Structure formats: structure tokens, C-alpha cells
Amino acid sequence: MRTYNKLMDGSRVLLGAHRGDRKHFPENTMGAFRATVEMGCDAIETDVRMTKDGHLVLIHDRDVKRTTNGEGFVDEMTLEEIRALDAGFWKGDEFIGTKIPTVEEFLELVSKTDLLVNWELKEYPKDLGLTRSFACVDKLVELIDRYGMAERSIMNSFSELLLEYVDDKWPHKFSIHGYIHYKNPKDFATKPLESFLDWAAIWNKDAENTAGFAADYGYAKERDVLTCILVADTEEEYKKALSMGCRMFTSDDPRRAIEVLKNLGER
């Protein structure tokens, strides 16, 4: 395991807010991120995409329809078009007029804190081609460097090729987070994924193994890879994951997750 920040060495259990505090705010918006800062999480997980004119914005889906009042692909829209969308109305009247944030806006906020950032790279080569996908990563790294955030950044993707690109171009600069044993990866790296992973998400679950399979945790541990998971924010599920070696939770309800971790003596 390669360690870039003492907070990421597995010595303590970390809590990341999944797209910010998406339980109480529109996901991947500045309100959701500010709430996360205020409540005392360790990290924010967010999703990076690039507009038609080359600006980086934070939104999970390629199609804006689910979380805005528009429709169409982010990569086929300009920043001006993206910023004209309402990204909050669906969550409640009090959020009407909320905008999709740029990476710069987000970095202005988090760079003044001690939060880690789990950047999920969403510009998949299979959808948009290697050139554009790599360009998105390059621009993100440029901004991360501008704000002095490299040591607090985790690079995360379902694309093994993108993670391999990061590891090859910036060796030992970022912590890298991938998905071992994921049944439908977006693509495959040219070298073994586990050879450059620092974190692995435990993804496979079933009705009896709701916090993942012990074999997957064991597989990661044997390869000196730390494990993380997103599960229901209950003491029961957290206990299960902790007992198998989980060292980071990504939560859809971080306020509740903090209470769960406190009750379990992990906060």
C-alpha cells in the first residue's frame, strides 16, 4: 500500500459523504458540500465530468435529466448551458435555483479545510474516447495542483484505464481507488488493477452478505489494499463491514453515519 496522507493509511476509520450531504440537499451541489464541511466528515466523494467547451463540473450522470430541469449530455453542452440549469428544484422549493458547481468552486471551498476528496472520474473512454477522457483527467490534476490538494486527493473510477493512466503519468502522486471483482467494469487496465490500487470498494453483495463478502475483503488485505464500502447507515451494517476490515464508509446520510460511528467507538 502506498500512503500519501497519514489520514489515508488505514489507522483510523474514515467517513466520506457520497456526493455531499445528499440526504438533506441536492446531490453534488455547493449546499451539500458546505453541509459536509460543517458536520465534520473526513472526505467528500464527488463526480467529475467535462462540458463541451472543456470546463469541469460536478455531476454524477452523463444525462442531466435526473438532477436538473434539463436534458441532454453534459459533454454536449457548454458551461453556460450547464450553469443555466436548475439542479435543486427536485429536492424542494427551498433549493430552486441551485446550480451545478464547477470544480474550481468546489476547490475554493475544500482547499480551506482539511477534508480529503474522493474524485470519481466519470468521462469513460468507452463512451467518449481516450483523448477526451484523458484530457478531463489532465485538467482535473492541473486544478488540484493549483489549489495544493494532491496529497488530499483520491482518484476513483469504474474505468480501470483511467486509473492506470493516473498511476502511469503521476506515479505515487495520488491515492487510487478502484473496484475489485466488480462484474461490469467500464474497461480493463493493461496491468493488474490490484498492482496500483490503494483502496478497493467492496461492491459485490447479496441478501445474506449485505456488507459484502469476507472473501473480497480478504483478497484486498492479502494484496495490502485498504477497503471501503457504501452500506445502509445502521450500526448493524457498519459492524459487519468493520468486522471484515472496512476502513472507510461512503455515506448517503453522513449526519446519521457520524452518529453510528460514534456509537461504535470509531469517532
| Residue 39: HSE in the Cβ half-sphere, 13 Å Cα cutoff | 23
Residue 3: is its pLDDT beyond 60? no
- The contacts of residue 129 (CB under 8 Å, 6+ apart) are none
Mean pLDDT of 179-184: 84
Confidence at 183, pLDDT banded by 50, 70, 90: confident
- The contacts of residue 79 (CB under 8 Å, 6+ apart) are 51, 53, 55, 57, 102
What pLDDT is recorded for position 185? 83
Distance CA 47, CA 27 (A): 10
Mean pLDDT of 164-172: 96
List the grid coordinates of 36.
459536509
Residue 2: is its pLDDT beyond 90? no
pLDDT digits (tens, 9 = 90+) for 54-77: 999 999 999 999 999 999 999 999
Instruction: Identify any residues that bridge with 119 across adjacent strands, giving them in sequence order.
Output: 46, 155
Active site residue 18: yes
User: Of 18, 55, 177, 181, which one is the catalytic site residue?
Assistant: 18
* Nearest alpha-carbon partner for 181 in 220, 232, 225: 220
Sequence-ordered alpha helix ranges (H) in the chain: 30-39, 79-83, 103-110, 125-128, 130-146, 160-169, 214-222, 235-244, 254-263
In CATH, what class is 6-263?
A: alpha beta
Instruction: Identify any residues that bridge with 176 across adjacent strands, giving them in sequence order.
Output: 155
What pLDDT is recorded for position 262? 97
Percentage of the chain modeled with pLDDT above 70: 98
Confidence at 40, pLDDT banded by 50, 70, 90: confident
Sign of the dihedral defined by the CA atoms of residues 117, 3, 145, 171, in that order: negative
Residue type, position 232, single letter: A
Confidence at 267, pLDDT banded by 50, 70, 90: very high
- The contacts of residue 169 (CB under 8 Å, 6+ apart) are none
Cβ pair 18, 252 in contact under 8 A: yes
Q: Which residue has the higher pLDDT, 5 or 211?
A: 211
Active site residue 177: no
What pLDDT is recorded for position 23? 97
> Which residue has cell 458551461?
79
Annotate 163-225 with three-state secondary structure: HHHHHHHCCCCCEEEECCCCCCCCECCCCCHHHCCCEEECCCCCCCCCCCCHHHHHHHHHCCC
Residue 101 DSSP class:
P
- Please give the torsion angle defined by the CA atoms of residues 258, 44, 36 and 95, in that order, rounded to the nearest 10 degrees: -130
Q: What is the pTM of this model?
A: 0.96
User: Of 24, 55, 60, 172, which one is the catalytic site residue?
Assistant: 60
Residue 206: is its pLDDT beyond 70? yes
> Which residue has cell 472520474?
121
